Amino acid sequence: MDTFIKENILQVNSQLGTKTKLIAVTKTKPVEVLMQAYQAGCTRFGENKVQEMTDKYEALPKDIDWHMIGHLQTNKVKYIAPFVALIHSVDSLKLLSEINKQALKNNRVISCLLQIYIAKEDTKFGLSEEEAIQLLQSPDFENLKNIQIVGLMGMATDTDNQEQIRAEFRSLRAFFESLREWSHPRVSMAELSMGMSGDFPIAVEEGSTLVRVGSAIFGKRN
Ligand SMILES: *Cc1c(COP(=O)(O)O)cnc(C)c1O
């Protein structure tokens, strides 16, 4: 066993405090590596590709929570609907409707986060605050009885400017707090998914409840 994985997990966990949970981002890593993280106490794994997540789900212990953190295509929702614990990357009503449909088929309620666009970059997916509110107010949203919106996810700009990163996380936190008053049976703002290897300590300070950390645990991806 590579002891560095265990040490890195301990190291990351020691920076999280009591309100923030670790999601180990295991994309591109083989199941043997996930097994080492599992044996070191990790039970939440984040993946960004449907096929990869499904293969790993089948190969690994069933008490693992699988988090979909990457952009999700509607035609692939059906493969993860039976087991996914939380979908972080909901960025359209169309996707949410498909998640609802597949959740119903599997006789379950699937927890989702709305991905909010906070970075000053063109490459990141997500909704603006206005679009998120429109989605929640849409008449079609009322028909989705097999999903639960449990919070928000966001990615800060990939920059060395710590103050910019902090400001972006802070704006997401403020939006999250404002939506706590949203009175709807299928909206409950409990989870704020923000922070990755390069910026999770700032995210924790700004109120993150879920950090998504990959390379700081497993090393650089190829
Ligand atoms: C890859 C990925 C992460 C983890 O990135 P690291 O920098 O390796 O920690 C977090 N969130 C999302 C959405 C990702 O795609």
In short, whether 217's Cβ falls inside 6 Å of ligand 1 is no
3-state helix, strand, coil in the chain (%, to 5): 40, 20, 35
Whether the pLDDT of residue 211 is over 90: the answer is yes
Whole-number Å distance, alpha carbon 26 to ligand 1 midpoint, is 9
Computed over every residue of the chain, the mean pLDDT equals 96
Is there a contact between 192 and 200 (Cβ–Cβ < 8 Å)?
no
Say what the pLDDT of residue 41 is.
Answer: 95
Hunting for tokens 């590596």 — which residue is that? 33
In angstroms, what is the span from residue 174 Cα to ligand 1's centroid?
23
pLDDT at 88: 98
Q: Which atom of ligand 1 is nearest to the CA of 215?
A: 8
- Whether the pLDDT of residue 25 is over 80: the answer is yes
Q: Residue 110 in contact with residue 147, Cβ under 8 Å?
A: yes
Place of tokens 């970075």: 119
Domain around 66: 3-218
Check residue 42 and give its pLDDT: 97
With beta carbons less than 8 A apart as the criterion, state whether 82 and 107 touch.
no
Atom of ligand 1 at shortest range from CA of 221: 8
Q: What is the pLDDT of residue 167?
A: 97
**Average pLDDT value for residue range 129-147:** 97
Q: Determine the Cα–Cα distance for residues 94 and 4; give it in Å rounded to an integer.
A: 42
For the chain, percent of residues with pLDDT exceeding 70 = 98
Q: Is the pLDDT of residue 222 over 80?
A: no
pTM above 0.95, yes or no: yes
- pLDDT tens for each residue of 153-198: 999 999 999 999 999 999 999 999 999 999 999 999 999 999 999 9
**Burial of 171: CB neighbours in 10 Å, binned 0-12, 13-18, 19+:** middle
Q: What pLDDT, on a 0 to 100 scale, did the predictor assign at position 124?
A: 64
Nearest ligand 1 atom, CA 216: 9
Spell out a b/e string for 95-114, using b for 16 or more CB atoms within 10 Å of the CB, else e.
Answer: bbbbbbbbbbeeeeebbbbb
CATH at 123 = 3.20.20.10
CA 134 to centroid of ligand 1, rounded, Å: 28
Could you give the CA distance from residue 165 to residue 160 in angstroms, rounded to a whole number? 8
pLDDT at residue 3 in the model: 83
Cβ of residue 158 lying under 6 Å from some atom of ligand 1: no
Q: Which atom of ligand 1 is nearest to the CA of 27?
A: 1
pLDDT at 219 over 80: yes
3-state secondary structure of 158: coil
Nearest CA to ligand 1 atom 12: 69
Alpha-carbon dihedral sign for residues 88, 94, 100, 101: negative
C-beta of 23 in contact with ligand 1 (< 6 A) = no
DSSP 60-91: S-TTPEEEE-S---GGGHHHHTTT-SEEEEE-
Q: Is the CB of 126 under 6 A from ligand 1?
A: no
CA of 136 to the centre of ligand 1 (A): 27
Q: How far is the CA of 192 from the centre of ligand 1 (A)?
A: 15
Residue 91 or residue 2, greater confidence = 91
Confidence of residue 123 (pLDDT cuts 50, 70, 90): low
Mutate to test the pocket of ligand 1, among 196, 199, 202, 220 (most ligand atoms within 8 A of CB): 196
| Widest Cα–Cα separation across the chain | 53
Total tally of structural domains belonging to the chain: 1
Q: For 71-80, what is each residue's pLDDT tens digit? A: 999 999 999 9
Contact 197, 215 (CB under 8 A): yes
Q: Does position 1 have pLDDT exceeding 70, yes or no?
A: no
